[in-house]
A and B are shown apart, each in its own frame.
Chain A
Amino acid sequence: MQRLEKKHPRAVRWMHWINVPVLSIMIWSGLLIYWANDVYDVGVGGITLFHFFPDWFYRALDLEHGLAMGMAYHFTFMWFFAVNGFLYVVYTILSGEWRHLLPNRYTPREAWNVVLHDLRLHKGPLPRAKFNGAQRLAYTGVILMGAGSLLTGLAIYKPTQLSWLTSVLGGYAWARAEHFALTAGYVLFFLIHIAQVIRAGWNNFRAMITGYELVLTEDTSHA
């Protein structure tokens, strides 16, 4: 037998989905800005493995010669990003949702089991909870990353008036690199998030839109 179970509050669903276009616009405009001084590489011992970014990448996404426009979009949509994130944190605190989201003492062990489970190395069933340990780490971590983006962003937005912040973050060039690395982190988060949502299936995805999940009830009378 099935019944409906409330999963995601309305406010969380709205803030989650608003983040999709807002973060997309922030990353796109950030790339327009980065193009004007694209100095980051990943390499080992002086050998460059990957340059951020190859020319074909900029060309394919039309990211060339858009610094002024990129800055204007970035410094407009930063407000939506900041306000949305701020409201989310306030909401999770006031509503008590934080209890489902913050890591607790069971989290590390549970997260490890989830990883083993997802890698097909562990066959046991996962604990039935709104969010498992891996999710708690991921969803708390990504909020901390958001705060990091705000701080590193402010440090490179007003490096003279907020020079104390820029200095704490290691100076202007470091703060810029940290801002970039956090964005790379979002993209990584996003890829894993999408893969997990696809794996979890329709019922789980639908809950982020409707707020409800269909769950099997254990009907003892039929047992």
Chain B
Amino acid sequence: MPDLKLASARLSSAAELEMRRLTRRSFLVGGAAALAGLGAWRWLTRATPEDGLAWPLRRTLGLNQRLAEGLFSPRRLAPTFPDERVQGPARTNGLVGLSDNVDAAAWQVHVEHEGRDAKQAITVRAVQDLPRADLVTELKCVEGWTEVMHFGGVRFLDLVKRFSLATRSGRAPDPDNNPGDLYRYVYLATPDQDYYVGLDMASALHPQTLLCDTMNWQPLTREHGAPLRLYLAVKYGFKSLKHIGLIRFQDQRPPDYWADRGYDWYAGL
């Protein structure tokens, strides 16, 4: 009996020795992989920031943007809701760039094109002469809350068509047949440029991008950006600039208030 035990122990030790060898090797490989992972994490968290974000993260957001732009379609719309879904006064969030000057009758939106000296000023009345557009949809804030709201005004697309904006040639834009004539970006800002947003042209010309003079069927209040504000269904709320004083069409990517503070520039929904 003791002999048998001994034989069995010797036999099993071959397997155990092999297991020990495997374990040593696997733990070494695993340990090296874990160290490499830790090193990569240190590298990532200490990478030089670009606009408040480590550059590899900023670069990845850029890749995500290119993918989203490639798959973007102006025919895909945000869901709309029946009017009854709008509840109570609209939530306010963010007052940067607002002023007490909300005189709609005297208000002018200045329009500029990169590389062109001619500047235009468009009155609120001229904007309001465009076909009306009403939208009851869900505003999405980057913070994570949403609210069903009514936005009333005119389509940004109709504005650029009526006033022949956004093109290098100065002719009326034709996004379907002559997209190359369009500038790549739009920059919009409050009159003193304290708050500003940058938009890709496709998002600006989306049919649910509006210049609004009413919200929840009431004239815009000062807090909501009177006399004229933007609303985009394809962006987080922080891109929906209030109190529009300046619109500039350009090929260089414009700065953006929240993108300068660590957020994604594209912020597309």
Contact = CB atoms under 8 A, between A and B. Distances in A.
Given A75-B264, A166-B79, 20 more contacts: A2-B16, A3-B15, A4-B22, A36-B144, A37-B143, A37-B145, A67-B143, A68-B261, A72-B54, A72-B60, A75-B61, A76-B57, A76-B60, A160-B208, A160-B233, A160-B234, A161-B268, A171-B79, A210-B22, A210-B23
Nearest to A166: B79
B140 A172 contact: yes
Interface in B54-86: 54, 56-58, 60-61, 64, 68, 71-73, 76-79
B143 A161 contact: no
Interface stretch (B4-12, B99-107, B149-157, B183-191): B4-12
Contact of B68 (A71, A161, A222): A161
Interface string B234-251: 100000000000000000
A17 interface: yes
Interface of A: 1-4, 17, 21, 33-34, 36-37, 39, 67-69, 71-73, 75-76, 79, 157-163, 166-167, 171-173, 176, 206, 209-212, 214, 219, 222
B4 A222 contact: yes
Contacts, number: 115
Nearest to A157: B269
A24 to B, nearest CB: 10
A191 to B, nearest CB: 22
B32 interface: no
Contact of A17 (B16, B30, B52, B269): B30
Given A67-B143, A160-B269, A173-B146, A2 B12 contact: yes
Contact of B71 (A1, A21, A39, A161): A161
A222 B9 CA distance: 13
Contacts of B15: 2-4, 214
Contacts of A17: 30, 33
Contacts of A79: 60
27 contacts: A2-B12, A2-B15, A17-B33, A21-B37, A33-B144, A36-B143, A37-B141, A37-B144, A67-B143, A68-B52, A68-B53, A68-B263, A69-B262, A72-B57, A72-B58, A72-B262, A75-B61, A75-B64, A159-B138, A160-B233, A162-B76, A163-B77, A166-B79, A171-B79, A210-B25, A212-B19, A214-B16
